[in-house]
Amino acid sequence: MMTLTLEKGGNLSPATSDPGLLHARVGEEIAVEKSVLFAEIYKHSGEWKFRANGQGYTDGLGGIARDHGIHI
């Protein structure tokens, strides 16, 4: 799991020399959300998969937890 805080917009990029690996621009469209699920890494049929997401939650990490069956 990776967590981060990004105040007032900005860029998210991995620490790698491959510019096509991952890039996400966070701007004013993320205005009221307290947390955002940017991507999911999961195993399907024995292979690891990566899926970009971008789902915002106004109720913070609790919203992400509830969407994944974690009761807090």
Q: Could you tell me if residue 3 is inside a domain?
A: no
Q: Could you tell me if residue 5 is inside a domain?
A: no
Backbone dihedral angles phi then psi of residue 62, each to the nearest 5 degrees = -60, -35
Which whole-number Å values give the CA distances from 39 to 15, 29, 48, in the listed order? Answer: 16, 17, 13
Q: Residue 7 and residue 34: Cα distance in Å, rounded? A: 10
pTM of the model: 0.57
Q: Could you tell me if residue 30 is inside a domain?
A: yes
Q: How many domains does the chain have?
A: 1
Q: Residue 2 and residue 38: Cα distance in Å, rounded? A: 10
Q: Residue 63 and residue 57: Cα distance in Å, rounded? A: 6
Full domain range(s) for residue 36 = 10-67
Q: Could you tell me if residue 18 is inside a domain?
A: yes
Q: Could you tell me if residue 2 is inside a domain?
A: no
Q: Could you tell me if residue 1 is inside a domain?
A: no
pLDDT in tens, the chain (72 residues): 555 555 666 666 556 666 665 656 666 677 788 888 888 888 999 999 888 888 888 888 888 889 889 988
